[in-house]
Amino acid sequence: MLIYISLILICLFIIFTIILFLSLSLPLVSCEECSSKYEGGCHDKNEALKLKVIAIFCLLLSSMIGICIPIFTTSIPALNPDGDLFVIIKAFASGVILATGYMHVMPDSFADLTSPCLPQHPWHKFPFTTFIAMISAVFTLMVDSFSISYFKKKLPMSSSLNDSKTTKELELGHGHGHDHGHDLAVANGHDKNVNAEQLLRYRVVAQVLELGIVVHSVVIGLSMGASENPCTIKPLIAALCFHQIFEGMGLGGCILQADYGVGMKGIMVFFFSVTTPFGIVLGIGLSKVYTDTSPTALIVEGVLNAISAGLLNYMALVELLANDFMGAKLQSRIKLQLWSYVAVLLGAGGMSVMAIWA
């Protein structure tokens, strides 16, 4: 799995490098047309810095709370991954992730890549945001598909070994029950194989989903860290805290279903929790040389947001919502299915409303 994650990161780095190289040679438009969005009546560098420090701790805490809620509530029977309440909560969180891609990340990419600070050719002549998001979704499908295919090849051999071992044990204990014992062993082996395939899919979903969230979180933090507008930062802190809690719940539910060990859970919780604060720190450090309306900043942020949007939209629709709603549990229980749809709409609707402030 680390191989595929590494390939994604390498591809992102290559895209980032190419865009940076091209954007450095782009002609700039007039300063009047490209005045910074952070300038104006509410511009206070010292006040903004205080708010950004507060934001670092608030977002770190809210991120940890959000992602840890599903992981540390397994002792509550009602919140067990096999329970109905967990299914409804996961549907709500999936709606949050879906709205994050469509209502937060993609509009930000549109705003960046269609900015008047960029030249008309080629940025205003072609819908780069949707094109990049489409390619990102297809690439995510490729990673998902190849990962499953690669690891599924190891499952039949493991399953057959389990079948043989179980059959021998049954033969030694019951000489007259060979046929029945063999059938039972095959059945048990088949169940183990199915469970292993499902667990593998959960793990692929958790890791790829976290990758998309991390990319978007760094961009969000970078933008806030570079801002010197307290009037913009204040509502952003509250909106992003709620955003991180609900998004973290969605990712935490996927991590819980992936059944990772303590070490891997800790790593994934750590990276989700620190990426937005890290982006803010990075933005503060680059604030002297970072210009939010420079072609380089607009193109890099716009492309990264488009990549993240395509990834999040694919994961939310295909791996989370479609996988659950087309599964045996919801298909066999219409009432639970209806409540899950209500939860999806509430999650997506609530996150859409937050787009007013963030």
pTM of the model: 0.69
- What's the pLDDT at 175? 43
- What's the pLDDT at 345? 94
- What's the pLDDT at 78? 63
Distance between alpha carbon 4 and the CA centroid of its chain, in Å? 16
Distance between alpha carbon 176 and the CA centroid of its chain, in Å? 54
- What's the pLDDT at 325? 92
φ, ψ dihedrals at 153, nearest 5°: -65, -25
Burial class (CB in 10 A: 0-12, 13-18, 19+), 186: middle
Whether omega for the bond prior to residue 156 falls within 30 degrees of 0, making it cis, is no
DSSP class of 40: S
- What's the pLDDT at 189? 42
- Rounded Cα distance, 264 and 180, in Å: 40
- What's the pLDDT at 74? 67
pLDDT one digit per residue (tens) for the chain, 358 residues: 444 454 455 455 545 554 554 454 455 444 444 655 444 457 777 888 888 899 999 999 999 998 888 888 766 666 677 778 888 888 988 898 898 889 888 988 898 888 888 888 888 888 989 999 998 888 888 877 877 777 677 665 444 444 444 444 434 344 444 444 444 334 344 444 447 777 877 888 888 888 878 877 888 888 788 777 787 788 778 888 888 888 888 888 888 888 888 888 888 999 899 988 988 888 888 777 666 677 877 888 888 888 888 888 988 898 888 888 988 889 899 999 999 999 999 989 988 888 887 6
Question: How wide is the angle at C-alpha 350 spanned by C-alphas 259 and 302, nearest 5°?
Answer: 80
Sign of the torsion angle spanned by Cα atoms 12, 13, 17, 18: negative
